[in-house]
Structure formats: structure tokens, C-alpha cells
Amino acid sequence: MKKHIITVIVILISMLFTYAAIFKAMDYPLFLSDMSKSPLLVKYDKNLLAPVVLGTEFLIVILLAFPGTRKAAFFLSFFVMAMFSLYLSTLYFFFTNIPCSCGGILGKMPYPVHIAFNICFTVISGAGVLLSNKS
């Protein structure tokens, strides 16, 4: 049963990060533009940060594909989702009219829905970490 749960978690996280990364990459100039509008990222070079975000998302998907690297992928996914949740929450509660640079349907979600969505995936990633620790 645990193996099936881990498989479902792998599929969900892989779909999320593949979808998000592909949509950002497909409209890379918009992704950069939206990142540039974030008051939390003004100190960072977007031309450096954007490829790191995309690379990390694709890396998680690749690491999830192999049983030997899944635990690392779950940890990385948990960290990334927790950071994205904190980032979106900060934007929502302390700033106004800041576009989300997530792309696709994710970027069109209202902030409260997107934050809840991210928290759900943070919990899913955490479950992956816990279940892979018991292997």
C-alpha cells in the first residue's frame, strides 16, 4: 500500500512541476517580466534567478523518476513548495496587485486559492519525505 501511495505522490508532484516549468519556459519573457514586478525579488538578478527556478523544477521531476533519488526529490519539493507558499503569502498579505509568475492555470488562481494549493502540495511532499524515510 505504501508503495502505491508513494507512486501517487510522485505522479502528482511530477505533474505539478512539469506543468509549471513548461508554462514558464513557453512564455519566458512573461515569466521574467512578472518576476521583475515582485517587490520581494528586487535585489535579485532575474536573469539568474529565472533559470534557477526552472532548473530546480525540472530537477525535481528528474529526481522523482528514479527510486534512488526520490527521497532527495521529496525533500527538495517540500522546501520549494514551502518557500513558494511563504512567498505567495507574503505577497498576498503585504502587497497589492502583484502578478504571479507561475504560468498557466496556476498563475490565474486567486492568491488565497493558490496559497492553499501550494500548502496542499507542501503537505504531499512532506508525506513523500516521511514515507520514503520509512523505506
Distances (CA, A) of 81 to 3, 18, 49: 23, 14, 16
Alpha-carbon span 9 to 40, nearest angstrom: 30
Model confidence pLDDT, tens digit, residues 92-121 = 999 887 778 887 788 888 999 999 999 999
- Domain count within the chain: 1
Q: What is the pLDDT of residue 114?
A: 94
Domain around 15: 2-133
Model confidence pLDDT, tens digit, residues 41-85 = 989 999 999 999 999 999 999 999 999 999 999 999 999 999 999
Tell me the whole-structure pTM to 2 decimals.
Answer: 0.92
Model confidence pLDDT, tens digit, residues 20-41 = 999 999 999 999 998 998 999 9
